[in-house]
Amino acid sequence: MRSPLVRLMRTASRSRKRSGLRIFWPAGSALIELAPHQTEAIDRIGILLDRFRGAILADEVGLGKSFVAAAIAASFGGEIEVIVPASLVTQWRGTLENFGADAEVITHDSLIGDRFVPQPARNRLLIVDEAHGFRNTATQRYDALARRSIGAQLVLVTATPICNSPDDLLSLVALIVDDNALRYAGVASIEDAFRTRDAAAIRNIIAELVIRRDRDVLPEDLRFGSIERRVIRHPVASIPEIDQLRFPLIGGHCEILHRLLWRRLESSEAALLESIRRQTRFYERALECLRSGRTLSKRDYRRAFGDEEDRNALQDVLFWDVFAPDVARIDAEEIREEIRRLDRIRDAAAAAPRTKRDLLANLIAAEPMLIFTSAVATAHDLASTLRAGVITSRGAQPLDALDAFRRGRIHILVCTDLASEGLNLQRAGVVVHYDIPWNPVKLDQRNGRAWRIGQTRPSVQAIYFIPETRRTRIIETVAAKNRARRRLLDPSPDAPRHGPSLFALPPHLPRDAPAVALIRKLRAARLGCPPHIARRYRAGIERLFAEMSREYIDDRRLRELMALLRAEERGPV
């Protein structure tokens, strides 16, 4: 039997098809107009939720995915949680209110501290915006979402389901369907298809589970012009002392650490100076530890290197769980010599001409401008020079910088990639990529703040600052990632979709599956093994299986598990 949500969606879809135009979504006393491509997405998501209890909405940036998700929330007759980045909480609350949707909005990071216990009797829908933030299965964040999704319907919303490799998409797919879900479509194992990089099978998976359209689906009155791209090549100061750093307390990783420091310099001299200052402080603290005979702990490390948005590039590589110096092995003079090398780099960076910043200053025109950078120090340096608003993880200046830009009180807004996701900033006519991120999808996200539905200019200008040197090979890296992403996400428009088949492939249960370990545990405990355990499930249940196979289990826990499995098996088995 179809769920009320699916029936409502299909009624809306039939109305749209009869009229050939748009439908209007009731929200209190107002009506919200949805374009045909949005109602088609609602209809398709309804089918996927009915069949699998999960769906991925991956339309390109700027096509109104949040309206689709809000309409789904407004139609749902149970508990709704909308999980979003912290920077989008206010915007999402307003969108849900406009659609009359009663939903709790929680942040990505808050999932980690919430000890959620799944209850099979509850009718729940989770909507996750910017879902690519959960592409790493090894993180606490992913584990928390997987467990929270047990027994719930799940809609993942992201314009960038593949950021660095196809495994990003596999992580998302594992949240919404089990590994055997597409046997009817000829895919015996979704995991094996990605592991072997079977392009044909992966395209099949995308065709079945992912809703992905580009701007060509927009009706004429919603199209938002073109994007004009311009490249500015800038020199990078020559500071050979960077390659002379030895990182005495780290051991190994020297080549990648040199490369990452050059990346900081490519961003700005201010960014490099910030990293040099932090490293110097760290080594000074290490000398203090050697003199006092104590260890340098994780807290000392964080206090020295700080917590900034670009820490994943440099600081995570430098980090080890607990640094315990061996006085007999570590030479204090070697550390002092490293500090002297850092001092020489600091002096060279401070004296270097700010050519790149001057090139940007010469671009300032009447059009409102968004400037994106990956480094917090670069953002504050630019904002100070250009007298612009700034938004980083350390806050905003002025405090209402985002609203001030939207209302026209300030005309230049400098942002780190904290502001590159989800925000509607169509007032901007120019988007500047002051440095190029390792992750190419961030370029699309940055452009999409201005180049989206509601943009009235015939074109938006995107300006890319590219270093003249190839020392970090950032352009080659980004190009290679883009090629891999597009090969999968831009398949033939005629890619087949399959319905249930009598000739479906048999279930696939590898020996290392969590279910196998749990079956062994049940047999060792002399408990009966229900047949429903011997199969693959979505990521949440798979993790629960793995956990239970390592813990004490009795009849009560087995009954609780079977109740959760029944909630998960509302799709096809």
DSSP string, 420-483: SSS---TT-SEEEESS--SSTHHHHHHHHTTSSTT--SSEEEEEEEEES--SS-HHHHHHHHHH
CA 112/CA 133 separation, integer angstroms = 13
463 in Cβ contact with 433 (< 8 Å): yes
- Range of lowest pLDDT (103-117, 306-320, 385-399, 513-527): 306-320
Q: Do the domains 4-217 and 224-234+355-472 sit in the same CATH topology, yes or no?
A: yes
Looking at residue 39, its pLDDT comes to: 92
Give me the mean pLDDT over the 249-254 stretch: 69
Classified as helix, coil or strand, 4 is helix
Q: With 50 as the cut, is the pLDDT of residue 313 above it? A: no
Q: 242-272 burial by CB neighbour count: b if 16+ within 10 A, else e? A: beebebbbeeeeeeebbbbbbbbbbbbbbbb
Classified as helix, coil or strand, 306 is coil
Q: With 60 as the cut, is the pLDDT of residue 11 above it? A: no
- Range of lowest pLDDT (141-145, 266-270, 395-399, 554-558): 395-399
The number of C-alpha atoms within 13 Å of 336 and in the hemisphere containing its C-beta is 5
Q: With 60 as the cut, is the pLDDT of residue 24 above it? A: no
Give me the mean pLDDT over the 522-541 stretch: 87
Give the residue among 264, 248, 379 at the shortest CA–CA distance from 315: 264
What lies within 8 Å, CB to CB, of 406 at 6+ separation is: 425, 427
The number of C-alpha atoms within 13 Å of 370 and in the hemisphere containing its C-beta is 31
- The model's pTM: 0.77
What tens digit of pLDDT does each residue of 268-289 get?
999 999 999 988 988 888 888 8
What is the CATH T-level fold of the domain 4-217, as seen in this structure?
Rossmann fold (3.40.50)
What is the CATH T-level fold of the domain 224-234+355-472, as seen in this structure?
Rossmann fold (3.40.50)
Looking at residue 329, its pLDDT comes to: 54
- Range of lowest pLDDT (90-94, 192-196, 249-253): 249-253
What tens digit of pLDDT does each residue of 52-101 get?
999 999 998 888 899 999 999 999 989 999 999 988 898 899 999 999 99
Instruction: Report the helix count and the strand count for the chain, using DSSP H and E.
Output: 22, 15
The overall longest dimension of the chain from CA atoms, in Å, is 82
Pairing of strands 153-157, 124-129: parallel
Looking at residue 364, its pLDDT comes to: 87
For tokens 């196979």, name the residue. Answer: 549
309 in Cβ contact with 392 (< 8 Å): yes
- Percent share of the chain, pLDDT over 70: 83
Classified as helix, coil or strand, 390 is strand
Domain ranges, ordered by start, for the chain: 4-217, 224-234+355-472, 244-351, 514-568
Looking at residue 488, its pLDDT comes to: 75
Q: What is the mean pLDDT of the chain?
A: 82
CA 471/CA 441 separation, integer angstroms = 22
- Range of lowest pLDDT (163-177, 207-221, 352-366): 207-221
Give me the mean pLDDT over the 325-350 stretch: 83
Handedness of CA 525, 539, 168, 47 (dihedral sign): positive
Classified as helix, coil or strand, 413 is strand
137 in Cβ contact with 131 (< 8 Å): no
CA 230/CA 465 separation, integer angstroms = 9
DSSP one-letter code for 122: S
Q: With 60 as the cut, is the pLDDT of residue 433 above it? A: yes
75 or 485: which leads in pLDDT? 75
CA 278/CA 274 separation, integer angstroms = 6
CA 186/CA 130 separation, integer angstroms = 30
CA 238/CA 157 separation, integer angstroms = 43
Q: With 50 as the cut, is the pLDDT of residue 15 above it? A: no
CA 259/CA 476 separation, integer angstroms = 14
Phi-psi map region of 273: left, alpha, beta (phi>0 left; psi -120 to 50 alpha) = alpha
Indicate the pLDDT class of residue 306, thresholds 50, 70 and 90: very low
Beta bridge partners, 27, equal 30
Q: Quote the crossing angle between the two packed helices 254-267 and 269-292, to the nearest 10°.
A: 140
Pairing of strands 395-397, 389-392: antiparallel
Looking at residue 1, its pLDDT comes to: 35
CA 554/CA 262 separation, integer angstroms = 57
135 in Cβ contact with 163 (< 8 Å): yes
Indicate the pLDDT class of residue 177, thresholds 50, 70 and 90: very high
Looking at residue 260, its pLDDT comes to: 86
32 or 358: which leads in pLDDT? 358
438 or 177: which leads in pLDDT? 177
